[in-house]
Chains A and B, each alone.
Chain A
Amino acid sequence: MENLHFEYEVAGNNFSQAGMASDAVKSTLKKMGIASEDIRRVAIAMYEGEINMVIHGGGGVAVIDIFFDHIEIKLIDHGKGIENIELAMTPGYSTAEDEIRALGFGAGMGLPNMKKYADVLEIESEVGVGTTVYIRVDFH
């Protein structure tokens, strides 16, 4: 059986729209009858990823593939990229500018939270080219 495939645009520098893709994915998973705890993990990991695309990536595209027993989320942006991925994964570390922090974002918990809730988290990034975050959440 093939999988469900969706693509969502994520607008850059638009906080009010961040979370729209994750809301659409949540709605689909509820229609599939996925357990609420799994939906919660997907929602949190994906929302954090979307916010990162808005803050750092200048927007991009969320590519979603839903299989019978898991979901794969690819968040692709063509922003400034991550210099040191290991450092970026450290809780509390953030390169967000003061004006972003003033909005309540950029606390340095985005990637650590995504790692916490995802079963697989992979990051490919090249400075000046962009970042692709791959999230996999298994369903129970």
Chain B
Amino acid sequence: MENNYFHTVFLDADKCKGCVTCMKRCPTEAIRVRNGKASVFYDRCIGCGECVRLCPSHAKLASYDSFDTINDFKYKIALPAPSLYGQFNNLTDVNYVLNGLLALGFDEVFEVGRGAEYASAVTKIIFDQNKVKYPVISTACPAVLELILSRYHNLKDNLLNILAPVDISAKLARDKAIKRGIPPEDIGVYFISPCPAKVYALKLGVGVNKPYVDRVLSTGEVYMKLVPAMNKLEPSDLKPLSKMGNLGLHWATSGGEATATFRSKYLAADGIENVKHILDGLEDNTLTEVDFIELDACAGGCVGGVLNVENPFVAKARIRQLRMKLPATSSNILADEGKPLSYYVWEDEPQFKNFDKLDENRLSAMQKLMEVENLLNTLPQYDCGMCGAPSCRAFAEDVVSGIVSDKCPRLDTEVKNETK
């Protein structure tokens, strides 16, 4: 099952007990249990992190860059995700986090919450220009975007074609540093990520010609170093670094992006199974009364990402408190920057994938589907997972595709019991 696809999650094989938890709950049926260990079809993985979240043995790990990579560049720019601020107990001022990052060795910070405000301003212009297909679907959650690119090709024209807040932040921060005379090769942009899907999207550079982010760090790992650094800060040390407004921070939680569009007919759904229901409905044309759809793979939004340390709902409550302390978002944000609209939109169309297809040839695919149906009719259809596939149908498809040649173990046992 190893292939050239980027690996967002990997397995601690010693810890994996071969239970079926991750396999049964994977939203794209990308996991199989083989020889007692979970393995992933990486071409089907959307990086949502459900398996990392659910594994009772903590055997599933998300991939990200180690904090030690901070030494890879001379001039280091930290990009904290809005969800980072929700991780700290009793945080009274977001500047503690930003000053703490400088204390850890970063030369500069650029809040992704600020980048989100640019994204919201651009979204508003795109709506005003009316060059969109309704309902417009947000592309900010990389796991959702990946799901649409692989399964929901019909919704291509509904996708909001702007850069993700992290890419806007990285692009602006890098350009500003270069303008100040810092050699481009010295600049390292570090995103502090709440989720493995962002790691995947930023490594590959989805929607951009080349990745703007150099390293993707885990919120959890940064948190462990940041707390002691923040505790050492005296109020008098605090530089007023934050430029993020109330709406930018709201992006940390589900509904934040939608709120910032200032449209009344929006829908915001979170949790990957809920997202799938919405996308299925969109394909059937049933959601005609909304004009903007925000979808977050994680429950609660980005605060629910598996690289975070805090419970998503606790983090959400803290974000709400912190938002009240922030200034209102400037409505003039784009004019202040002086970049053309094209600066903020997709530089490159993301690639659609088709891993659903059973065969490149339609006739062969039909033949295989018939074999799947015939085989499925002989199976118990309990979807018990004993065979190592998430459902009897997935097992039948694996057999017909030649991935496995096993027999249904449950059926085998029952036949043996009956003949005793």
Give Cα distance in the complex from A30 to B358, angstroms: 9
B14 at the interface (CB under 8 A from A): no
Decide: A36 and B154 in contact? CB cutoff 8 A: yes
B281 at the interface (CB under 8 A from A): yes
Give Cα distance in the complex from A4 to B397, angstroms: 15
Give Cα distance in the complex from A131 to B14, angstroms: 60
**Residue B369 contacts which of A4, A19, A37 (CB distance < 8 angstroms)?**
A4
- The residues of A that contact B286 with a CB separation of less than 8 Å are 19, 47
Count of B residues near A, CB < 8 Å?
Answer: 26
- The residues of B that contact A2 with a CB separation of less than 8 Å are 370
A1 at the interface (CB under 8 A from B): yes
Decide: A19 and B281 in contact? CB cutoff 8 A: yes
Decide: B151 and A32 in contact? CB cutoff 8 A: no
Give Cα distance in the complex from A104 to B289, angstroms: 10
B284 at the interface (CB under 8 A from A): yes
**Residue B284 contacts which of A19, A30, A31, A37 (CB distance < 8 angstroms)?**
A19
B180 at the interface (CB under 8 A from A): no
Q: Which residue of B lies closest to A117 (CB)?
A: B285
- The residues of A that contact B280 with a CB separation of less than 8 Å are 19, 23, 26
CB contacts under 8 Å to B, within A69-123, are 104, 113
CB proximity of B398 to chain A, nearest CB, Å: 13
Decide: A39 and B154 in contact? CB cutoff 8 A: yes
CB contacts under 8 Å to B, within A36-61, are 36-37, 39-40, 43-44, 47
Decide: B370 and A33 in contact? CB cutoff 8 A: no
Inter-chain contact count A-B, CB under 8 Å? 67
- The residues of B that contact A39 with a CB separation of less than 8 Å are 154, 283
Chain A interface size, under 10 / 10 to 19 / 20 to 34 / 35 or more: 20 to 34
Decide: B358 and A31 in contact? CB cutoff 8 A: yes
Q: Which residue of A lies closest to B151 (CB)?
A: A30
CB proximity of A113 to chain B, nearest CB, Å: 8
Give Cα distance in the complex from A31 to B355, angstroms: 8
A22 at the interface (CB under 8 A from B): yes
CB contacts under 8 Å to A, within B103-162, are 151, 153-154, 156
- The residues of A that contact B317 with a CB separation of less than 8 Å are none
Decide: B283 and A40 in contact? CB cutoff 8 A: yes
Give Cα distance in the complex from A96 to B57, angstroms: 53
- The residues of A that contact B289 with a CB separation of less than 8 Å are 104
A14 at the interface (CB under 8 A from B): no
Interface string of B269-285 (1 = CB under 8 A from A): 00000000000110111
A66 at the interface (CB under 8 A from B): yes
Give Cα distance in the complex from A30 to B367, angstroms: 14
A17 at the interface (CB under 8 A from B): no
Decide: B366 and A32 in contact? CB cutoff 8 A: yes
Interface string of A5-44 (1 = CB under 8 A from B): 0100000000000010011001110111110110110011
CB proximity of B378 to chain A, nearest CB, Å: 17
Q: Which residue of A lies closest to B281 (CB)?
A: A19
- The residues of A that contact B285 with a CB separation of less than 8 Å are 40, 43-44, 47, 113
Decide: B366 and A4 in contact? CB cutoff 8 A: yes
Which among A1, A6, A32, A66 has the greatest number of chain B C-beta atoms within 10 A?
A32
Give Cα distance in the complex from A36 to B357, angstroms: 12
Known: A19-B281, A43-B283, A68-B362. 18 other contacts (CB 8 A): A4-B370, A22-B284, A28-B369, A30-B151, A30-B356, A30-B357, A31-B358, A32-B365, A33-B354, A33-B357, A33-B360, A33-B362, A39-B154, A43-B154, A43-B285, A47-B284, A104-B289, A113-B285
Interface residues of B (CB under 8 A from A): 151, 153-154, 156, 280-281, 283-286, 289, 354, 356-360, 362-363, 365-367, 369-370, 373, 397
What are 20 pairs between A and B in contact, CB < 8 Å? Answer: A4-B366, A19-B284, A27-B356, A28-B369, A30-B357, A31-B357, A32-B362, A32-B365, A32-B369, A33-B365, A36-B156, A37-B154, A39-B154, A40-B154, A43-B283, A43-B285, A47-B285, A68-B366, A104-B289, A113-B285
